[in-house]
Amino acid sequence: MGGQWVQFLAGGLTAGAIYALVALGFSIIFNASRVINFAQGEFVMIGAMSAVSLVATGTPMPVAIAGAVLIAGVVGLMLERFAIGRARNADVVTLIIITIGASIFLRGLAQLVWDKRIHALPPLSGDEPIELFGATIVPQSLWVLGVTIAIVVALSWFFNRTLLGKAMLATSYNRFAAQLVGIDVRTVLFASFGLAAALGAIAGVLIAPITFTSYDAGIMLGLKGFAAAILGGLGSFPGAIVGGLVLGLLESLGAGYLSSAYKDVIAFVIILAVLFVRPDGILGALKSERV
């Protein structure tokens, strides 16, 4: 079958773009605070679930998406205000543990607010498969890939051209120095959670038609996104994209040519391997300046 590997590639790219979107959220918060936000997967879930319930009430799709992004963004801001911000002088490890607690809390909350069932969102432009070079993909995959690229462009504009973006970047390089030159580090942290949550929600809304969603959908997505972020180098946006795509491709090719039983193992072997061999990831900055 000559077309087989093309199909593996197509599947891998779709999954990879999903992981990349989640990984971007990890990087934004990591940059602003050195915290790995383990509630990132829950932001994705909240976005998707909000969109599902908005669509169920008859809201048109674009409004539902905007609403879902808004809801998740507010949840992200509240998480920073009531949990992370209050402990901002604590160790990074403490903050990371707080995000783990927050993720469990959000999952429990989602069970109460929504339900424990699995939901699907209607795709943005039908589900008639498209043939490409002997492989088939659903139009939604193109949406995921396209929006991922658009978000990367928007983010690089935001971080290089706007004051808040530059402030975030400055904080990521040196928090203390940033504070000295008058950057309100507190606001940067606040904004980064809102941004990461909104980004997570966009990912959630885009992928829900392909992968479905439920209150616990965030766990695996969060872990895979984390693996992608580690692989590409935490804090690096191009790294998040590359990490996500490489992870998706490895998983798909691994499932295709090795054994499908090991598909999930691949992500975690990658985390371990990268942490052993190249702790800063493929595109991670070498931290010589911090010595």
Partner 1 sequence: MKFTGSARTAFGLAATVLASALIGSGTVAAQEPIRIGSFLAVTGPASFLGDPEQKTLEMYVERINAAGGILGRKLQLFAYDSGGDAEKARTFAKRLIEQDKVDLIVGGSTTGETMAAVPLVEQAQVPFISLAGAVVIIEPVKKWVFKTPHTDRMACEKIFTDMNARKLSKLALISGAGGFDRSMRGECLKVAPKYGVEVVADESYGAADTDMTAQLTKIKGAPGVQAVLNAGFGQGPAIVTKNFAQIGLGLPLYQSHGVASKEFIKLAGNAAEGVRLPAAALLVGDILPDGNPQKPVVVAYRKDYEARHKSDVSTFGGHAYDGLMIAIEAIKRAGSTDRAKVRDEIEKTKGYVGTGGVVNMSPTDHMGLDLSAFQMLEIRNGNWTLVK
Q: Which residues bind partner 1 (CB under 8 A)?
A: 1, 4, 7-8, 10-12, 14-15, 18, 116-120, 127, 129, 136-138, 207, 210-212, 214, 217, 219-221, 251-253, 255-256, 260-261, 263-264
Shortest Å, Cβ 63 to partner 1? 22
- Nearest residue (CB) to partner 1, 158 versus 212: 212
C-alpha–C-alpha distance, residues 13 and 287, integer Å: 30
Counting every residue written for the chain, the total comes to: 291
Question: What DSSP element (H or E) covers 132?
Answer: strand 130-132
- Nearest residue (CB) to partner 1, 25 versus 233: 25
Shortest Å, Cβ 162 to partner 1? 33
Shortest Å, Cβ 237 to partner 1? 23
In the chain, alpha helices (H) = 4-33, 40-56, 61-79, 92-113, 139-161, 163-173, 175-180, 185-211, 217-232, 237-253, 263-277
Interacting residues of 39 by C-beta distance below 8 A, sequence separation 6+: 79, 99, 100, 102, 103, 106, 218, 222
Q: What are phi and psi of 132, to 5 degrees?
A: -140, 115
Shortest Å, Cβ 26 to partner 1? 18
Q: What are phi and psi of 144, to 5 degrees?
A: -60, -50
- Nearest residue (CB) to partner 1, 38 versus 159: 38
- Nearest residue (CB) to partner 1, 4 versus 156: 4
- Nearest residue (CB) to partner 1, 45 versus 240: 45
Shortest Å, Cβ 205 to partner 1? 15
